[in-house]
Amino acid sequence: MMPLDQKNKDNAKPIDNFADGDKNISASFVENLCLCQVCYMNYNETTKAARMLHCGHTFCTECIKSVRNYGNSAYLECPTCRSETKCAISDLAPNYLVMEMVRKFGFMGAAVAEPPVVRRSRATRRVQKIEEMIDESYRQLIITVKADLLQKFDDLKENMSYSTVRRELDQLCGSVEDAVRDAYSGYSESESDHDSSDSSATTDSVEVVRNENNVGMVENPLNQSSDESISYESSDTEDTSSGSSTASEASSYTSGQSMPLY
């Protein structure tokens, strides 16, 4: 019985013949599809088997392990779209479609045996463990710093948007204040005009009252002078009568009577 790999090789079409055939598929497209897009090497059945990440991109197993061990994310980060695959590498499903195309078009790489497990001493294992811990700490530090930077960037965007809104609000408040100030100044001018007209009317009324008071003050002295003249005349009359009585008494005393001594 013919082996499966030999049968696939015999049935495989050269890429040039396939490109010139009925399907009209680009040779470069097929070639890129049958290569790992990280190391640009052919897939094989052992160490470089095609595995598909959760985002749909396919890479060889070796490159996936390298990205997982030396990447800047706590999870497996896709080299193409940076999306994270949160599972173990052994749980990633092989991309059977890509592997079948590789077999069919003769792009299958040479099988490489898995490296044998070398027994290391206790000190070597301890050093390896420490290195793994350092790598893990470094990866966690990168994750933390990345999260902090993203948070600061989000805060900066929020502050910028807040400052923009604040500036627009201040401009609107300034416009409203100017409008209110103009309206108040116009109202004040109208009130001042009204007050000036009222004050002039009040001044006129005060002048009228003042003139009336002056007329009364002129009439009162005239009346007072006439009253005083009347009182003066009456006092003169009384003095005249008293003088005549005194003269008569004196004549009577001179005629035969002596004047009493007081």
Those residues whose C-beta lies under 8 Å from the C-beta of residue 79, and which sit 6 or more positions away, are 37, 38, 57, 59, 63, 67
Query: Can you give the C-alpha Rg of the chain in angstroms?
Result: 64
Region of residue 193 (phi > 0: left; psi between -120 and 50: alpha; otherwise: beta): alpha
Residue 194: per-residue pLDDT = 60
Q: What is the pLDDT of residues 28-37, one digit of tens each?
A: 777 778 888 8
| DSSP string computed for 189-236 | HHHHHHHHHHHHHHHHHHHHHHHHHHHHHHHHHHHHHHHHHHHHHHHH
Residue 41: per-residue pLDDT = 87
Residue 9: per-residue pLDDT = 44
| Domains in the chain: boundaries | 4-114, 125-192
Q: What is the pLDDT of residues 182-191, one digit of tens each?
A: 877 776 666 6
Minimal CA–CA distance to 67: which of 47, 91, 85, 42?
85
Residue 32: per-residue pLDDT = 75
Those residues whose C-beta lies under 8 Å from the C-beta of residue 31, and which sit 6 or more positions away, are 15, 107
Q: Write down the CATH number for the domain with range 4-114.
A: 3.30.40.10
Residue 59: per-residue pLDDT = 92
| Statement: the pTM of the whole predicted model exceeds 0.85 | no
Contact by Cβ (8 Å): 8, 103: yes
Asked if residue 102 has pLDDT above 60, the reply is yes
**Interatomic CA distance for residues 44 and 34, integer angstroms:** 10
Of 28-42, 111-125, 133-147, give the lowest mean pLDDT range: 111-125
Query: In angstroms, how far is CA 233 from the centroid of its own chain?
Result: 103
Please give the residue that has the higher pLDDT: either 96 or 232.
96
**Interatomic CA distance for residues 248 and 261, integer angstroms:** 17
Please give the residue that has the higher pLDDT: either 45 or 112.
45
Cβ atoms < 10 Å from Cβ of 45: 15
| DSSP string computed for 9-72 | HHHPPPHHHHHTSSS---HHHHHHHTB-TTT--B--SSTT-EEE-TTS-EEEHHHHHHHHHH-S
Q: What is the pLDDT of residues 167-182, one digit of tens each?
A: 888 888 888 888 888 8
Contact by Cβ (8 Å): 114, 108: no
Of 23-27, 56-60, 121-125, 151-155, give the lowest mean pLDDT range: 23-27
Residue 211: per-residue pLDDT = 60
Q: Confidence band (pLDDT; 50, 70, 90) for 87?
A: confident
Q: Positive or negative, the Cα torsion across 36, 40, 44, 46?
A: negative
Q: What is the pLDDT of residues 225-253, one digit of tens each?
A: 445 544 444 455 445 445 545 445 444 44
Q: Confidence band (pLDDT; 50, 70, 90) for 12?
A: very low
**Interatomic CA distance for residues 92 and 100, integer angstroms:** 17
